[in-house]
Structure formats: C-alpha cells, structure tokens
Amino acid sequence: MKMRRPWPVTERYESANVRVLIIKMSALGDIIHALPVLDYLHKAAPGIEIDWVVEEPFLDILQGNPLISMLHTVRTKVWRKKPFARSTREEIGRVRNALRSRDYDLVFDIQGNLKSGLVCWLSGASNRIGFTRETLQESINLCFTTRQIPVRRQDYHITDQYLRLVSVSFGKDFNTMNLSSDIATSSEDDEAARTLLATISDGLVFLFHYGTTWQAKFWYEEGWVELGKTLLERYPDSTILMSWGNERERTAVSRISASIGTGARVLDRYTLKGFAALLKKVDLVVAGDTGPVHIAAAVGTPTVSLYRASDGRRSGPRGPGNVVVQSPLDCSPCFRTECDRNDRCSRSITVDSMVLAVEKALAG
C-alpha cells in the first residue's frame, strides 16, 4: 500500500479518483440517518467510490445500495465476548487487510466511539476525520482520528452533523442540495409485500410499531388502542398492521390488536429487507423513536413519530409527510432510559395530538 501524505486543510477533493470509507456501524436508526451522506458525496465528487463499515446485524439495510462500492462487516459484540480467541484475532486481521487493501484517501468516522475509532485506525489511512470532543460519544475516539471537525450551532439534527463532517473535505454546502436516501429491496421482497397487501381492503394501510429500546420511549398501550379505533372510524375500510421486534413486543401488540378489533392485524416477523419493502407500500407509519420509523422515512413513506426521552428535533424524520410529536413536559427530552414519572410522561402525548399528526402527515 502506497503511503499518502496527511491531508492539508486547504485541499479539496473533487475528482472521480477519490475513495472514501464511512464508519457508521450501528445502530439501525443512526445508520439510516447517515444515508444522505452517500447522496451528498456522489453529488460533491461524481465518480467517487464509497465503502462502508457496518455491524453484521445491520448489514441487510445497506446491501444492494448502488451508491456503496464495498461493505465491510464487523462483529464487535462477538469480539468483545472472546477478545483473546484465535477466531477473533483472525477476523480482525481479515478486516484490517481488507480495509488497507482499499487504500482510502479519506476515512470518515461518523460514529465517534472507541470501536469505530479502532476500525478507523485499522484502515491505515493517513486522513482519518472525526468529530471534536464535545460531539463524541466517547472522547477516546480522538486518539484515532487525524483531524476533528466541530459541529456548528445550526447543525442540530443528527443527519446535519454527519453531513457537516464529510462536507468540509469537499467545500460544498450540503444545505444547498436536495439530498435523498433509499433502501434497496429485492424483487422477491417487493412481491411478498404486494401479496400481503392484496389480502386486505382497499382503504388506507397504517402500520403501528409499538416497540422501541428504552422504557422512556414507549407510548402507553391504551393510547395505541384508542388511536387505532379512532383512525378506523375516521378512515373507513382502512387497515392497521402491527409490527414487533421481539416476543415481549409481539405479546403487547397482540393485546393492542385484539382491543382495537376488526381492522387490526399482527404481522409475522420480517427480515430488515422484507420489512423495508413492506414499509414502502403502506400509507403511513406510526411509531416511537425506533428504527422502523426511520426506515419508513428513508423509503419515502409518511410517518408520525412520538418522542419522550429523546429529542425529535434532533433525530426525528424530516421533510414533507413526516410529523414529530414531542412530549410537552418541561423535562422532555431528558435522555434517560428509565424514569419514575414514566406513566405521566407517556400519557402527556395525547391521542388527540397523535390523530392531528396523522392528518397532517397524510396531507403531506
């Protein structure tokens, strides 16, 4: 591998002979927030080659994307469980060799923690760009980057922060571009989604995704039930599909679906690609701050998302047809995973506010 000189601040990359690496390994919603980076880079430097490092559980969401030249898969959870095992050393060695063989001009670490920093360092690239300390998840990441980009006050949304990090190298303002994102799905996944929708009525199709990660992100079950009943009354012949991510969520959505009654239906479990194909075809997705709502927004489906502990202004889907409902409590967003005021916070987002948000989202 030829040695590259460190990149000076005044240099701008515009030619097609640029190869870059994006390090955004997890989680699902954050990876989807980063997808506009691909469109930006291709518009800023037509002909650019872009590789991406992703954790194995999220590989599906990026596979087949025509804007990505190569995907590098890592399994850091497995490595942490067996850090000294021969298999771990061999896997890390293969990742290192694969990264270095690509001879990157620029590496963008938009994850900003220890594990992404280590991957950044493994790349062997001279120009490794990351965030400054105040933006990082873990400050040790500073040890692995050669240049740090500060986030500006106006770059409040997480996608704008990612775009800010990569745009400095190209000298083109992302705010002047109409950037898009998409998730590639197979013809088989698309056909499976069409087949499912052919079994339900011709009215609007809503998808409710009840589950999320933190206790302080959930909405209360009675709210989902009342919202479902209201929408079925307001939009005759409509259907509510209910998705889930684990057995606990499946049990909950089964209760919610049964309480809503006719018109509500619990889905089977889908792969990420299969789920994305279905989300492309429904009329509206309602969810908390969780991956499925971000997938829906990425593929162009209108969304209504509710935010309690997290900040919808910072991480909610943007653009026409995407409506964010934030808890009105003074303590929101608190970014706490659990809270002793959980019930009050959950019920602070009223069914009426969600119905209004649905109407607004459908109106575009």
Task: Determine how many CB atoms are found less than 10 A away from the CB of residue 9.
Answer: 8
pLDDT of residue 16: 60
Distance in angstroms (rounded) separating the CA atoms of residues 272 and 125 = 32
Over residues 308-333, the mean pLDDT reads: 96
- What are 240-255's pLDDT values in tens digits? 999 999 999 999 999 9
**In the chain, domain spans:** 19-176, 187-363
Q: Which two three-digit tokens encode residue 38?
A: 């691909």
Over residues 110-128, the mean pLDDT reads: 97
- What are 329-351's pLDDT values in tens digits? 999 999 999 888 899 999 999 99
pLDDT of residue 9: 41
- Residue type for position 352: D
CB 50 within 8 A of CB 20: yes
- Is pLDDT above 60 for 15? no
pLDDT of residue 340: 84
- What are 59-72's pLDDT values in tens digits? 999 999 999 999 99
Q: Which two three-digit tokens encode residue 236?
A: 């005759």
- Band of residue 7 on the pLDDT scale cut at 50, 70, 90: very low
Instruction: Report the chain's terminal Cα–Cα distance, integer Å.
Output: 51
Over residues 43-48, the mean pLDDT reads: 95
pLDDT of residue 346: 95
- Band of residue 201 on the pLDDT scale cut at 50, 70, 90: confident
pLDDT of residue 324: 98
Give all strands of the β-sheet with 70-74 in edge-to-edge order.
70-74, 49-55, 19-23, 106-109, 128-131, 147-149
pLDDT of residue 339: 85
CATH superfamily of 19-176: Glycogen Phosphorylase B; (3.40.50.2000)
- Band of residue 141 on the pLDDT scale cut at 50, 70, 90: very high
pLDDT of residue 3: 41
Task: Determine how many CB atoms are found less than 10 A away from the CB of residue 145.
Answer: 23
Q: Which residue has the tokens 């649905």?
A: 358
- Band of residue 151 on the pLDDT scale cut at 50, 70, 90: very high
- Band of residue 215 on the pLDDT scale cut at 50, 70, 90: confident
Distance in angstroms (rounded) separating the CA atoms of residues 221 and 208 = 12
Q: Which helix (H) or strand (E) holds 241?
A: strand 239-243
- Is pLDDT above 50 for 257? yes
Distance in angstroms (rounded) separating the CA atoms of residues 116 and 5 = 22
CB 265 within 8 A of CB 230: no
Q: Which two three-digit tokens encode residue 231?
A: 């929408």
Options 1.10.1060.10, 3.50.50.60, 3.40.50.2000, 3.40.220.10; CATH for 187-363 is 3.40.50.2000
CB 106 within 8 A of CB 4: no
Sign of CA dihedral 2, 7, 13, 19: positive
Domains 19-176 and 187-363 in one fold: yes
Rg (CA), the chain: 22
pLDDT of residue 283: 98
Query: Quick check: pTM over 0.85?
Result: yes
For 335: left if phi > 0, alpha if psi spans -120 to 50, otherwise beta; the answer is left
pLDDT of residue 4: 43
Sign of CA dihedral 180, 183, 188, 190: negative
pLDDT of residue 17: 82
Over residues 271-298, the mean pLDDT reads: 96
Distance in angstroms (rounded) separating the CA atoms of residues 189 and 320 = 26
- Is pLDDT above 70 for 128? yes
